[in-house]
Chains A and B, each alone.
Chain A
Amino acid sequence: MFFGGMFLAYTLYRYKYPVAFAAASNHLDIRLGGINTVVLIFSSFTMAMAVYSTQLGKRRNSIIFLVLTIVLGLTFLGIKAVEYHDKYRDNLIPGQLIPGRPFNPEVAKPGDPDPHKLHVPLGVPIGNVQMFYWIYFAMTGMHALHMIIGVGLLTVITIMAVRKRFGPEYHAPVEISGLYWHFVDIVWIFLFPLLYLLGRHLEGHMG
């Protein structure tokens, strides 16, 4: 399990810098993350329906469900791009990944409600907050890469379905692509609470 290593890194650093991680996590957009969770679970459902339709030989339905899955996958990636752009705007891309725009968020003074600024309790090193963003970009970036591969895979499967390559006797490629798609969904099922939700109950205690 390749993602397991990154989940382990996340666990260790969250254990080491709990306050910085909660503060950085609360800065993520819970609405966009939540919408993306719904979009991805819905796409897993349409993928399961595509496999079902292929098993029964209902070619038209299976193509409709495959296209729907691809559209939902692209919707997820689009929302993810909006989120990444928000982080870019707030100078939250870690290190020097973007030349000329190093990690340099504006830290809010106590009582300042500006959501574009980072709300970090006094005494928490900004470097620890940056660590959260390294892990956030590594994990969501790797997940998005898997999504892009999945969309490519499903495009090929859809073209094959249009060319009448599958039927009740032969549908292994559809089913295996489905397994891959559900796996990517499972990774997100863990990423969403770990990255977006873990510090929300502490929001009142943050600066």
Chain B
Amino acid sequence: MSEHIVYPRVYITIFLVLMASTGLTVVSAFRDFPGPLNAVVALTIAVVKATFVVLYFMHVRYSPRLIWLVIAAALFWLAIMFALTISDYSTRSWLPIT
């Protein structure tokens, strides 16, 4: 465990940012953006919120490089799982036979 102490001022700031972005995601969900942009906006806000939680509430920002490596590895495997599965499902209809 890192000995770095994060002060309440930081926690309160992060909390307020998370509240504001929750409001933003609800408001933006009711607006009709062109194409798939609604999903893009919602997911971008969710990723930003999750990043704030990971960096500050979970103290990763003040953690050694090993912790960063573990997180990067987890995200990398998740990306492989999504990329390979979706490339399969989204191209099945390209073949004439079923």
Contact = CB atoms under 8 A, between A and B. Distances in A.
B97 interface: no
A45 B29 contact: no
A74 B18 CA distance: 21
B66 interface: no
Interface stretch (A7-15, A95-103, A121-129, A159-167): A7-15
Contacts of A140: none
Contacts of B26: 30, 34, 197
A49 B90 contact: no
Where chain A touches its partner, the secondary structure class is: helix
Nearest to A175: B1
A47 B59 CA distance: 13
Interface in A146-194: 171-172, 175, 178-179, 182-183, 185-186, 189-190, 192-194
A134 interface: no
Contacts of A62: none
B5 A48 contact: no
Contacts of B43: 193
A188 to B, nearest CB: 10
Where chain B touches its partner, the secondary structure class is: helix
B54 A48 contact: no
A179 B5 contact: no
A48 B86 contact: no
A1 B78 contact: yes
Contacts of B6: 48, 52
Contact of A56 (B5, B45, B57, B89): B5
B85 A8 contact: yes
Most buried by A among B6, B54, B57, B85: B57
Given A41-B15, A45-B11, A186 B54 contact: yes
A15 B86 CA distance: 10
B42 A198 contact: yes
Contacts of A37: 22
Contacts of B8: 49, 52
Given A48-B57, A179-B58, A190 B50 contact: yes
Nearest to B88: A12
B39 interface: yes
Most buried by B among A47, A171, A185: A185
A64 interface: no
B38 A41 contact: no
Contacts of B11: 45, 48-49, 52
Interface of A: 1, 4-5, 8, 11-12, 15-16, 30, 34, 37-38, 41-42, 44-45, 47-49, 52, 55-56, 171-172, 175, 178-179, 182-183, 185-186, 189-190, 192-194, 197-198, 200-203
Q: Which 7 residue pairs of A and B lie closest in terms of their CB atoms, listed nearest first?
A: A197-B29, A193-B42, A45-B15, A201-B32, A200-B29, A48-B57, A186-B50
